[in-house]
Amino acid sequence: MEKKYWKESVIYELYTRSFKDSNGDGIGDFGGILEKIDYLEYLGVDTVWLPPIYVSADVDHGYDVKDFRAIQPEYGTMEQFEDILAEFNRRGIKLVLDIVPNHTSIEHEWFRQARSSKDNPYHDYYIWEQGNPDGTLPSNWRSHLGHPVWTWNEQTEEFYLHLYSDKQPDLNWDNPQVRQEIYDIMRFWLEKGIDGFRIDAVNVISKDRRFPDSDQETLQAKGEEYFKNGPHIHNYLHEMNRELKKDFEFFTAGETSAVHDHDVLRYTKQEREELDMVLSAEASELADQDEDKYKSKKWSVHDFREVLRKWQKDVGDGGGWFGLYLSHHDAPRMVSTFADDGEYRIPSAKLLATMLHTLRGTPFIFQGEELGMTNYPHFDSIDSIDDQEALSYYDLKVNEQGASETTIMDRIQEKTRDHARTPMQWNTSDQAGFTDGTPWLPVNPNYKEINVQSGVDNPDSVLQFYRKLIRLRKENAIMVYGDFEIILNDHEQIFGYIRQLDNEEWIILLNMTNEEAQYDIPSECVDDWDKKSCVISNYPHVDNKNILQPYEAVVYKYEK
């Protein structure tokens, strides 16, 4: 396998708005990043990803861009951004920016021009359609927010397409001028010295322009078989790669959804020159029902095993590459969803970390994950919600469809993206040390127990465990380049696997339940189990004869 630094990296998603406020307005900013930059070095990460920092209408906190070449004023200035870049460079930390190529804000000058007249040169920057002769919409597709993807524009008497909010119109990637505009924007930031891009919603940029109706029975993203992994997607990504990589060294991580193994291989095999890795939320969506993501479903260890088998074996063995995450700015906290945020919060947070850092792929850490931060307990009324996706869901289900407000708020309370976006918990002072003012989202009341300072002071904290894992990954190539094989295939509690490189094997055993789990390692996997030695464990390690405690994670090293 070809060695690349971005395969060996640990990438930290720093959500600027919630990281650290330096001026008391309650919103995280560049001054806060500069103030806390030493923490990132202390943690040991070597790459930082910033979600959109561009001028935005703030409907979707940066993912509705008004100006791709200017900084959102509430975050700071271009000079401060350049200071952050310089400080990262001085510490050997690479910087990745989020680029949003699929859509803009409705307030972007391109769209202001485009909607004014069919004759305007910007009109073809977006996707327009007439309604059907019977008066119905051009197709029955539904957006990721659950509403129709078509909105009427009075000035030109036609509909425009938006796969997200009606405030986020989709760009027309079939127009070569649009593609060149996006490449020029990427070039602008590469010239400043950044090291790569996380490309938002990359596999929806090419649509089936026949706009056929869909038979899917889903609330969100109905019709995705026609607007994901579309007819020209690979041509466009290869063009992007060819256009920019001839002049710059950087890497790309493309956010994708509804992808199969053959899609990922086409996107990421190096000889195809498209993306360096993809990011998929498939594992993090195991607790969501397919027809409505706000409805929960029970998941099992078997479910996890099968999803990860596909990515680790079908994609990994085939030469593809991917990022690993269970938490990010669009999902609730992983310890609250996939583990135990009560009695077993600390060991279960460490277990999930062990899994993400010992699987094949590039691990992504979402800020606060390394502390074991949990869901906020009081998003119990719609007035407490900021998340545009959750607000849209409430409007659709309660106001339009007449569903029970209590039922819908129970779903939102569990699933809202706001859980991930509550302020970073730095210490035990007011507002967890995030701000001297009123924070834009409330601080989790458990901040006096869960915060950076307590993590620094406690050698057994979740934070210290993350630092150990990050250091291990830097020191042991087997964690990056080792082959992968699943063991204990039918175990109902334990997810077990082996990483192997040259004459070294690591055996990873994860009890993903709140009860003790017994196991036997098959002799065909390990011929002399007594030769093992413990690399890392989330409990004080005792070789207790093939029993794992609740949420115990242990990594054994085995010399052949």
Rounded (5°) CA angle 434-27-95:
85
Cα dihedral: 380, 386, 391, 393 (round 10): -80
125 in Cβ contact with 229 (< 8 Å): no
Determine which one of 21, 255, 274, 552 is catalytic.
Answer: 255
Q: Is 291 a catalytic residue?
A: no
Element (H, E) at 533: strand 533-537
Give the whole-angstrom CA distance, residue 99 versus residue 68. Answer: 9
Q: Is 255 a catalytic residue?
A: yes
Determine which one of 21, 200, 274, 387 is catalytic.
Answer: 200
Sign, CA dihedral 286-46-58-111, equals negative
Single out the residue of 497, 541, 546, 495 nearest to residue 520, CA to CA: 546
Give the whole-angstrom CA distance, residue 236 versus residue 216. Answer: 27
| Total length of the chain | 560
Rounded (5°) CA angle 108-111-114:
155
Single out the residue of 153, 3, 14 nearest to residue 96, CA to CA: 14
Single out the residue of 304, 306, 401 nearest to residue 356, CA to CA: 304
Q: Which amino acid is residue 76, in one-letter code? A: G
Rounded (5°) CA angle 183-188-190:
90
> Could you tell me the maximum CA-CA distance found in the chain, to the nearest angstrom?
77
Please state, as a whole number, how many other Cβ atoms lie within 10 Å of the Cβ of residue 56.
Answer: 23
SS3 category, 515: coil
Cα distances (angstroms) measured from residue 560 to each of 27, 534, 537:
53, 15, 21
Catalytic residues: 200, 255
